[in-house]
Amino acid sequence: MKKINIISIATLVLLMFTVTSCQKKWLDPSINKDPDAVTNVPGFVLLPSIEVNMGYILGGMDVVGTTAMWMQYATGTARQASAINGYNYRSNDVGNLWASMYTSDGMMNTKILMDKSLNPKTYSPIYGGIAKVCMAIWLGNATDLFGDIPYTDAFKGNAELQPKYDSQQQVYDTIQSLLTSAIHLLQQSPTGFDVNLSKSDYIYGGNTNEWIKAAWALKARYALHLSNKNSTWATTITNIIENQNIMTSNADNMEIKFGTGPSTQNPMYQYEDQRGDMVNNNGFFNKLASDNNDPRALIYKALPAGGAYLAGLFYGQKTSPVVFISYPELMFIASEAYYHEGNYTKAAEYIKKAITGSIDMYKGLNATYDATADAWLTAKLATYTGTADSPSLTEILTQKYYADYFQPESWVDYRRTGIPDLTPVNAKGIPDRYPYPTAEVLYNKNTPKTTLYTPMWWQK
């Protein structure tokens, strides 16, 4: 035993001297550089993972499921869903979502792809334009959930472990700037760097014209969100509607579809398949029934296990899409903008387009729906005469609420307008924001101090 100990100590001392003498060489970057490491990941490799992760993260329980319960599309009946349904939402409930948004699954890779477009001689402006649209969506969702968020000071790794938070106003300015730049980049001629674009773009198959339409739609959406802050919001939107290359049908919807395999299924389908702790909210379906038996109830309602789950035939199946922005949403945005400007004729015109687009989106999914939808639609559209009360602002936003089933935009509309008329499940009231995650509260001194009921900047 003594011999072994002496040999071990001698070996350790020799190793220490060796480490000391070679330390400079070990730290030399030229020596430690892995010759097989990828240093410039092409766009056709980055883009698919960005789009899929964007759909999976923003279309999953942490975003869609939670806001669906608060907007009373669904009801949580057990475990965590029951707590969230009762507005018991804590910092440790959002850690995974925050991390997913900011790591390589989310904004980090998007930032990398976006920044590569700064040098068009070595990289593709088209991939850069798509990345900027995606970043606008990431930022729009993040700020509308949490409020102030890191962006300008983020993505620096060890160089900045406590990033400052951009104000929500700054984030909104950034979103509009990103979209303006994206439109410019997407209008550039394809280059040799645009290899495999049609195959790597899971959303629009490399169709830059569709990406431009989506960018204009997003510009309109985020202008609308500032209806309580910016007096020119409506003019901004109507100028987009009248003068830009905008969505004209559901064929332009920005969405990503999922597959049938266990790891490729729609995120809300996966959640309900594994948990099953949420059900349809009867109050929402009573509202649809009171509107002359709105046929979309047939699409939205959950089916028994083995068919579609909680979110119904369109949003709740294995291969269901996650919709980032749609033609019907843009038409509702236009209707509200024209109403605000006092152009009630145009407000009626665009609510008709919006509801028609919503009804058409679900055709072919259910025979009873197909047999009744057109008659309901004809009767509904006949009620809009183009006056201040037909449609009213309440009607525009209520119909948008029906059309935006399981879409977080409904929560934005509710917070900025108080429409639709919802009864909170307890005295606390429907929350105004998500809490910041525990790790941010503990380790980043710049984290704002908020509660679930601290209003968003754009609410005031």
Q: For residue range 216-239, what is the model confidence (pLDDT) as tens digits?
A: 999 999 999 999 999 999 999 999
Q: DSSP character for 148?
A: S
Report pLDDT for 121: 77
Confidence of residue 25 (pLDDT cuts 50, 70, 90): very low
Q: Return d(Cα 233, Cα 81) in angstroms, integer.
A: 36
The pLDDT score that the predictor gives to residue 290 is: 97
- Label residue 160 by pLDDT band (50, 70, 90): confident
Ramachandran class of 125: left when φ > 0, alpha when ψ lies in -120 to 50, beta otherwise:
alpha
Q: Nearest CA to 207 among 176, 184, 186?
A: 186
**43-273+280-459 CATH:** 1.25.40.390
Return the domain boundaries, the chain. 43-273+280-459
Is 19 a residue whose pLDDT tops 50?
no
pLDDT at 305: 54
335 has a pLDDT exceeding 70 = yes
User: What is the value of pTM for the model shown?
Assistant: 0.91
Residue 120 CB neighbour total at 10 angstroms: 15
The pLDDT-based confidence of 308 (bands split at 50, 70, 90) is: very low
Which of the pair, 27 or 97, is modelled with greater confidence?
A: 97
Task: Quote the pLDDT of residue 55.
Answer: 97
Count of alpha carbons within 13 angstroms of residue 101, beta-carbon side: 27
- Average pLDDT value over all residues in the chain: 90
Residue 183, pLDDT above cutoff 90: yes
Phi, psi of 120 (to 5 degrees): -65, -15
Q: pLDDT (tens digit, 9 = 90+) per residue, 240-272?
A: 999 999 999 999 999 999 999 988 999 999 998
Task: Determine the pLDDT at residue 123.
Answer: 82
